[in-house]
Amino acid sequence: MSEKVDQSLLNVEKALSKLHIALDKKITDELNDEILIDGTIQRFEFCIELFWKLLKRVLLEEGIATGTPREAIQQAFQAHWLKNEQTWVQMLRDRNQTSHTYDEALADEIYARIPSYYLAMLQALEKIKEKRS
């Protein structure tokens, strides 16, 4: 097992833990609402970035080279590490939209999808860990 992959696994686990903390927070007023949504989206962006890089490294161990997040997701789906390719492609779209533009209505839509993304990432992480044990 590669040290880089092991470190990537730890990084993803830590990032998902922080995302979980954000998802557990309750909105109490308008200011907290905006801060919580922005912070949760940023944690989501960080998680998806770390996750596709983890996929890239694990795939490389399998002899499959990928260069882009989309390629890594497609190959991981073909390897049956991911359950729903469309969910993952939508995650990438959402990450790209939130990191390049800011639209409050769009942010609210993406924020509403993050709990399901979180679960998809947890499931995939467990699958990868099982595969590597």
Stronger pLDDT, 26 or 106, i.e. the higher one = 106
Residue 88: what are its φ and ψ, rounded to 5°?
-70, -40
Chain centre distance of CA 25: 19
Instruction: Write the pLDDT tens digit of every residue in 79-128.
Output: 999 999 999 999 999 999 987 777 888 988 999 999 999 999 999 999 99
28: pLDDT confidence band, cut at 50, 70 and 90?
Answer: low
Cα(83)–Cα(133) distance, integer angstroms: 20
**pTM of this structure:** 0.90
Domains (range + CATH), the chain: 3-132 (1.20.120.330)
